[in-house]
Structure 1
Amino acid sequence: MSLGIFRGTCSSEYSEGTVPRFSFEKVTDITLPRISFGGKGVAVVTSATRFDSRWEGLFTLLGFQIQKCVRFFSTGPYLTLGCNTGDVLLFDPAKEQIVTLHGKTIPKELKDEEMIGASHGWVFFSDRRDRTVRVSDIYNPFASKSNPTVIPLPCLTDLPCEQIEQVCNVAMSSSSPLEEDCLVAIKFSGDQLSLCRPGRDLEWINLLTPFHCCENSNLMYSKRDHRLYLPAPGGKHLFSYHLNSTADPAELHELVYRGPPELDQSEWEILSSCSRREYLVESSSSDERYLVKWYAHGFYSSVLKGIDYETKRFMVFSEEETTEGKIMCYTEDIGDMCIFIASNEAFCIPASSCPGLKPSTIYFMGRGLGSYDLTTGDTHHYKAPGGVITTPYWLPPFST
């Protein structure tokens, strides 16, 4: 729900005995928090985002008692660490502990397959030999231990001059691939984007992303727009596909930025030498959308005997509706939200829904493992559990 803000001006001179005339000009729209009204003058806030002191002061002035309601999950978000015989290993960033799911039967069809992505807690596996793809809930703590769900998808096919050996990430339009209208999308390293509906399509729909500029872009599905989005390198444009018209060419959206951070010239020079990735993330509990820019400095590591990365900075831009259209506004405060970024479809959740999570924080995996406080700019590194992590996917919280 949004509220229009107007500026009023007197359009005629006022004198005694006359009625002044006013004209009003719309300045902007602001998004209201999700609020329901209970009995006895109680305003119940059902969204955990952006209900700051301004709103609290307004409703208190109107005589309402504020009651904030946050949905609590049964688990926190986890990072996948892999499977041992009979065990599934996860990392809990809130407690900085390994969580072991004992007694899990690894389906035989998954034993020789590698993980290629994750979305909504479902993990995607593929066999390079025959290009089969399967989706499973084996990492869900509440899924069946003896008989986890495994959903076969069509074998992957490649477009001419494209390769499908390396996957950037996957995305789903629903919280479960078992839902009737669920669409699965796989973005490969290159220009190929493959789509299918589990249980309905016998083969993948293969598309070419435009202009060869989205080779390593990260895919995101927007429930708000019913579109798949790909941020172009540099974050100046978005490409989108509508689920009901995937045959149509991708739409190009130009991003307009406002209020960049105030940094010294030396800081900008450091950032310009960094490798950068862009992620689009949308809150499932509100209409908020963010573009995240991740700056990491590459260097040779004698331990890894290859290139390693050190995170230098994250920049977050919040999408705001204005009279000029949608503007991406730089922010160092995303309220109670925290963002999770890795090779999976990025997601964000209220920190207050999972004890131990820090608000206005980015949890990252890929170029290091850690968390970044947007307010202070401090980075906290986690010790990689069990050495090098080969399956770097965040899973959102699970509920019974």
Structure 2
Amino acid sequence: MSQLLFRLSKLSSRKDVLQIHKSVRLFSTSPYLTLGSIGEDLPGEGGGYIGDILLFDPAKEELVTVRDKTIPEDLVNSRLVGASHGWTFFSDRCNHNSVRICDLFNPLASKSKTKIIPLPLLTTMIYGQTKVVWNVAMSSSSPHQDNEEEDCVVAINFLGNQLSLCRPGRDLGWTNKQIPFVCSENSNLMYSKRDQRFYLPAPGGNYLCSWDLHFDSDPKFNELVFLNLPELPQFGWELLNSCFKEDHWVESPSGQSFLIKWYSNVPSKRHKDPILMVFTEEEDTKEGTRNMCCLLLEVFI
């Protein structure tokens, strides 16, 4: 994993990259990491320019290049803030409350006609802010208004305790929810297709907070009970307690839930000698709790 991140950092330092994003973004239901785009300074249809889209396949550890992609003019002065279900979220550099989603970095999308769906202007809650986006998630890969099979909901988690939700093409404004704890970059927002809920691990990774798709209910909390913990000497647990930690709640295509705990020594050097602990949810979980059984303890050196 450390070798993978090193190679990504080398790619991001190339001088010929005209538009490269500060951090890689993961499509939550796609095998690719988004790296950015290399512009050829050639005019595209309806403005913008033609360039190459850079993706990375972590499974194969290969760089994927989609060539001759038209970068719309509307996105030239925008910044990438998140990705989900093959769609990327862009915020206007001049007005961070202006957000749109598009299929620019979807390798299966049209090269010449990028689909862009504008979202309502973001509204800030009291003691909240919308300048820093931590995570985004979508309940469906089809955010079109004419999609009658499923109702797509978009959720954005900001620095602080604001969660904003809307239905693209249907809602005229956002529904803002106050998260009952202060979020940070290491709290990942994800959508569970099995439960039809948005999940967000609470700081410390001992509780799981979730919201349904109706917007009008209070958040639900589940306590995470950890079983079958690995046998470590005392100094091993002390080492883990001293590390920077990220908690990621993920779901497999079959609906099985996992909690991934990522430990590293320094936040700014998360790729250096990380420790990975993976838990899976047991089926006999009681109401209000979720029993998590340790599957893996791995140290990358």
- One-letter amino acid of the structure 1 residue matched with residue 171 of structure 2: D
Q: Shift of the alpha carbon at 1:155?
A: 1.3
**Does the CA-based 8 Å contact 1:277-1:295 persist in structure 2?**
yes
- One-letter amino acid of the structure 2 residue matched with residue 189 of structure 1: L
| Counterparts in 2 of 1:114 and 1:379: CA distance versus 1, 3 Å | same
Tell which structure's C-alpha radius of gyration is larger. 1
Q: SS of 2:235's equivalent?
A: helix
Match of 1:198 among 150, 163, 168: 168
Q: How does 1:1-400 map to 2 (within 5 A)?
A: 77-85=31-39, 86-130=51-95, 131-178=97-144, 179-180=147-148, 181-210=151-180, 212-216=181-185, 217-244=187-214, 246-284=215-253, 286-298=254-266, 307-309=268-270, 310-322=272-284, 326-332=290-296, 377-379=298-300
**Does the CA-based 8 Å contact 2:158-2:183 persist in structure 1?**
no
Q: Shift of the alpha carbon at 1:311?
A: 4.2
Structure 1 residues 198-219: Cα deviation after superposition (integer angstroms, max 9, x where no partner):
0001111111101x24344211
Residue equivalent to 2:19: none
Structure 1 residues 312-348: Cα deviation after superposition (integer angstroms, max 9, x where no partner):
311111001227564111112xxxxxxxxxxxxxxxx
Q: SS of 1:272's equivalent?
A: helix
Q: Shift of the alpha carbon at 1:145?
A: 0.6
Give the structure, 1 or 2, with the largest relative contact order (CA under 8 Å, sep 6 or more): 1
Q: SS of 2:69's equivalent?
A: coil
| Structure 1: distance between partners of 2:229 and 2:208 | 19
Q: SS of 2:239's equivalent?
A: helix
**Does the CA-based 8 Å contact 2:38-2:54 persist in structure 1?**
yes
**Does the CA-based 8 Å contact 1:118-1:171 persist in structure 2?**
yes
- One-letter amino acid of the structure 2 residue matched with residue 238 of structure 1: L
Q: Unaligned stretches of 5+ in structure 2?
A: 1-29, 40-50
Output the aligned Cα RMSD. Answer: 1.8
**Does the CA-based 8 Å contact 1:169-1:187 persist in structure 2?**
yes
Q: SS of 1:146's equivalent?
A: coil
Q: SS of 1:209's equivalent?
A: strand
| Counterparts in 2 of 1:258 and 1:138: CA distance versus 1, 3 Å | same
| Counterparts in 2 of 1:220 and 1:311: CA distance versus 1, 3 Å | farther
Residue equivalent to 2:46: none
Residue equivalent to 2:22: none
TM-score scaled by structure 2?
A: 0.79
Q: Unaligned stretches of 5+ in structure 1?
A: 1-75, 300-306, 333-373, 381-400
Q: Shift of the alpha carbon at 1:296?
A: 1.1
Q: Following TM superposition, where does structure 1 have runs of at least 4 consecutive aligned residues deviating by more than 4 angstroms?
A: none
| Structure 2: distance between partners of 1:146 and 1:134 | 18
| Counterparts in 2 of 1:311 and 1:194: CA distance versus 1, 3 Å | farther
Structure 1 residues 278-303: Cα deviation after superposition (integer angstroms, max 9, x where no partner):
1110112x12100111111117xxxx
| Structure 2: distance between partners of 1:160 and 1:91 | 39
**Does the CA-based 8 Å contact 1:191-1:215 persist in structure 2?**
no
| Counterparts in 2 of 1:323 and 1:145: CA distance versus 1, 3 Å | closer
**Does the CA-based 8 Å contact 2:53-2:105 persist in structure 1?**
yes
Q: SS of 1:110's equivalent?
A: helix
Structure 1 residues 41-83: Cα deviation after superposition (integer angstroms, max 9, x where no partner):
xxxxxxxxxxxxxxxxxxxxxxxxxxxxxxxxxxx82211101
Identity %: 53
| Structure 1: distance between partners of 2:109 and 2:102 | 10
TM-score scaled by structure 1?
A: 0.60
| Structure 1: distance between partners of 2:230 and 2:53 | 42
- One-letter amino acid of the structure 2 residue matched with residue 269 of structure 1: E
- One-letter amino acid of the structure 1 residue matched with residue 133 of structure 2: V
Structure 1 residues 18-62: Cα deviation after superposition (integer angstroms, max 9, x where no partner):
xxxxxxxxxxxxxxxxxxxxxxxxxxxxxxxxxxxxxxxxxxxxx
| Counterparts in 2 of 1:149 and 1:193: CA distance versus 1, 3 Å | same
| Counterparts in 2 of 1:203 and 1:94: CA distance versus 1, 3 Å | same
